[in-house]
Amino acid sequence: MISAAARRRRSGRQAAWNVLGIAVLVVMVFPVYWMVSTAFKPDNEINSSTPTWFPTDATLSHFREAIAGVDHPFFWNAVENTLIIVGITVALSMVLAFLAAVALAKYRFTGRKLFVVLMIGIQMLPQTGLVIPLYVVLRNYGLTKNEYVLFGVILTYMTFVLPFSVWTLRGFLLGIPRDLEEAAMVDGSSRLGAFVRILLPLVAPGLVATSVFAFVTSWNEYIFANVLLLDQSKQTVTVWLSYFTGTSRHTDWGALMAASTVIAVPVMLFFLLVQRKMRFGLTAGAVKG
């Protein structure tokens, strides 16, 4: 039996931890809150030397200006380019990575270890170190020309998406019990039948999670996009955002934060969706970049 005094002491300590926890939460989330709230604030509140902590009269004018304003053209071009690049990168990578992941999860073969080292090692390469040769090689093949440059970027992104996709999918495949697969075969189905009816539904969550990681990595990529996509009409959203403040000395903070919000929201939604999968392990760490 816990005495009343002990229980009180315990709840007191719990309250202290909670106060600390709330303080940490406020500090960590504040920058995100500040971005969203600035995006909705009228200009006089943004440009006042005393900040408005809780805006009361929200405005959508910054969003309108950010995505359709005359000062910041090419937003929709950037969205279109990004969706093309991300879509093709993710689709191709998933197919290729899935095949390789099956090889790693279900087979033992000579050279397997070397392949694993290669997959992990590539993720460790500092991307800035590869900017120069990739630029020179793609240029020599004419892939930096405006009409092919998106293709060049897709190829580049695939190299960085593939290794962690192989690695993550392999983890998901390992999680599938062999018995299930064998049970399906005993039932008289072929291996292909077993694959389609048993394996695929089980791997589907893994494929979704890995696709999300791949989506986020390519959506967020800045280094190579900045080097390869020089024409304004070919830029991705991250490059578009990086030039947002570029020209004038006076920054339109409201529009900048509105633009930032628009670009961050898809990623945030996806992250929250696969949040539980992410605790799945260190593999998710590969997403950072």
Partner 1 sequence: MTSFPAEPSITAEPGVSRARRRLTWARVGRASVPYLLILPVLAAVGTILGYPLYNLVTLSFQRYGLFELIQHSGHWIGTSNYGSILHDSVFWHTLLRTVIFTIANVGLTMVLGTAMALLLVQVSAWLRVALTVGLVLVWSVPAVVAVQIWYWMTNFQNGVLNYVLGAGEHDWYATTFSQLSIVTALIVWAAIPFVTITVYAGLAQVPAELVDAASIDGAGSVRIFRDVTFPILKPILLILTSLSIIWDFGVFTQPYLLIGKEHLNSSNYLMGVYVYIKGYAEADFGRGAAISILMLLIVAILSVFYVRKMVRMEAVE
Q: How far is CA 266 from CA 42, 186, 216, 254, 270, in A?
A: 24, 44, 9, 20, 6
Q: Report d(CA 221, CA 288) in Å as an integer.
A: 10
Identify the residue among 58, 60, 99, 204 touching partner 1 (CB under 8 A): 99
Half-sphere CA count of 77, side-chain side, radius 13 A: 13
Retrieve residue 264's tokens. 């961050």
Question: Do 167 and 283 contact (CB within 8 A), yes or no?
Answer: yes
Question: Do 212 and 269 contact (CB within 8 A), yes or no?
Answer: no
CB nearer partner 1, residue 26 or residue 60? 26
85 binds partner 1 (CB under 8 A): no
Question: Do 57 and 128 contact (CB within 8 A), yes or no?
Answer: no
Q: Closest separation between CB of residue 2 and partner 1, Å?
A: 14
Angle between helices 200-220 and 75-106 (to 10 degrees): 140
Q: Report d(CA 195, CA 176) in Å as an integer.
A: 12
204 binds partner 1 (CB under 8 A): no
Identify the residue among 107, 147, 179, 188 touching partner 1 (CB under 8 A): 107
Identify the residue among 102, 176, 202, 208 touching partner 1 (CB under 8 A): 102
Q: Report d(CA 188, CA 193) in Å as an integer.
A: 9
Q: Report d(CA 168, CA 215) in Å as an integer.
A: 14
Identify the residue among 79, 103, 176, 202 touching partner 1 (CB under 8 A): 103
Q: Closest separation between CB of residue 84 and partner 1, Å?
A: 18
272 binds partner 1 (CB under 8 A): yes
Q: Closest separation between CB of residue 209 and partner 1, Å?
A: 14
- Region 136-165 residues binding partner 1, contact defined as CB under 8 A: 136-137, 139-140, 155-156, 158-159, 162-163
2 binds partner 1 (CB under 8 A): no
Q: Report d(CA 42, CA 255) in Å as an integer.
A: 11
285 binds partner 1 (CB under 8 A): yes
- Region 23-82 residues binding partner 1, contact defined as CB under 8 A: 24-25, 28-29, 31-32, 34-35, 38, 46-51
20 binds partner 1 (CB under 8 A): yes
- Region 221-260 residues binding partner 1, contact defined as CB under 8 A: 222-223, 227, 238, 241-242, 244-245, 251, 253, 256-257, 259-260
| Burial category of 5 from C-beta neighbours within 10 Å (exposed 0-12, middle 13-18, buried 19 and up) | exposed
CB nearer partner 1, residue 150 or residue 158? 158
Query: Given CA atoms 227, 230, 234, 238 in this order, what sign does their dihedral have?
Result: positive
- Region 162-191 residues binding partner 1, contact defined as CB under 8 A: 162-163, 166, 174, 190-191
Q: Closest separation between CB of residue 282 and partner 1, Å?
A: 6
